[in-house]
Amino acid sequence: MTVQSFDVAVLGAGLAGRLSAWQLVRAGLRVALVERAGPDGAGSAAHVAAAMLAPLAESAIAERRIVELGIASVDLWRGWLAELPEPVFFQEGGTLVVWHARDRGEMSLFASRVRAVAPPALVAERMRALDGDGVAALEPALAGRFPQGLLLAGEGQLDNRGTLRALLSCAVASGVHCVWEAGEVEAQDLPALGIRARVVLDCRGLGARAAWPAQAAARGTIPGLRGLRGEVVRVHAPEVKLQRPVRLLHPRYPIYIAPKPGDLYVIGATEIESDDDSPMSVRSALELLSAAYSLHPAFGEARVLELNVQRRPTRPDHLPAIRVDQHARIVRLNGLYRHGFLIAPAVTEAACEVVRALLDGDPAAHAVPAALRWPGMIGPALDTVAGGSPVLH
């Protein structure tokens, strides 16, 4: 087999891998993209995600760094999508938050969490209380159904599968060399695929679990990387006519309903503390579909197209991380959790900055300027413990 030389080999062609490959080839680098499965991205969490760009809404269940990464990423998405060779559905019409009368207390809790986590100036600018007429003006389909609501202005969403297709199309057109159906590949396996790379960028998500080993804790062992189950329903509901993502507050979990082109709706919740990827249970399907029906009865006539399950790669602190092994010349990006589309642009931008620093021979690539905005996200892959033994983290 003829071995080709590249500046960077990107492992994993999910959202992070495709974004990274595209950025790196645009920077004039020779890039190979290696994926264990096929080019449709069906095995990635991004393939079934709702792809909402909602930093304020997420601040109710996430920490400040996620909000900041999300704000930066929405700005990046706005510019990057305009450069892709094919149009991708993208809107910034805000997020509408509503609740049934029995769940009124959830609104106060939601608003309090948003104010506690998000930047105060952003909350003052974008979070607006609505009465029934305000809800109806934003979403005529919900007229008379909710006497109150909240608008989180400026939030957006995009078409997840369209984005994956467009990113790959643009990357290939720009010269990215793709290897599909490669199976489970580590950096040392690349020569067998005909690839020699100066730096490897590992974006494999849960496929890289072995590179993020467990950590000892007072009450046992904490996995360095684990999967958190998410469940999503896709339906076709031409009679509903929502214009923006809607979050329905609920005591057990917030339900989101995201409208997509062609009268499609993605319905999901937060996550289930499980690494199980078996098919969706009847109970979950009933809960998600019942919540949609309670939002608008026309969902009762919707056609169920898909019942999807995904596992999101999650670190113990639920924050993304970039780890740099300068000796092996490997950069590892992981832990996007449930915030993939929301934060991937800012996180991959930082990872690509690290890759370029390694290529330039930077002796402290993990300390590149991109790390200064979010201290701690980028760090060396190797530390030592008592006795001098190296440990990955």
DSSP class per residue in 159-214: -HHHHHHHHHHHHHHTT-EEE-S--S--GGGGGGGTEEEEEEEE--GGGGGGGS--
Are 184 and 36 within 8 A, CB to CB?
Answer: yes
Packing angle, helices 15-26 and 160-173, rounded to 10: 30
- What is the structure's pLDDT at 154? 95
Eight-state DSSP code of residue 347? H
- What is the structure's pLDDT at 219? 67
- DSSP line for 7-45: EEEEE--SHHHHHHHHHHHHTT--EEEE-SS-TT-TTSG
pTM (predicted TM-score): 0.94
Eight-state DSSP code of residue 27? T
Question: CA neighbours within 13 Å on the CB side: how many for 329?
Answer: 17
Eight-state DSSP code of residue 2? P
CA distance 318 to 231: 18
- What is the structure's pLDDT at 332? 97
- What is the structure's pLDDT at 222? 83
Q: Residues in the chain with pLDDT < 50?
A: 383-393
Beta bridge partners of 151: 96, 128
- What is the structure's pLDDT at 206? 95
Beta sheet of 156-158, edge-to-edge order: 52-53, 156-158, 90-91
Token readout for 382 is: 């190797």
Beta bridge partners of 311: 229
How far is residue 42 from each of residues 4, 13, 220, measured CA to CA in Å?
28, 10, 35
Token readout for 61 is: 């269940």
Nearest 5°: phi and psi at 19? Answer: -60, -45
Where do the domains of the chain lie, and which CATH numbers do they carry? Answer: 4-47+160-218+317-392 (3.50.50.60), 95-153+226-314 (3.30.9.10)
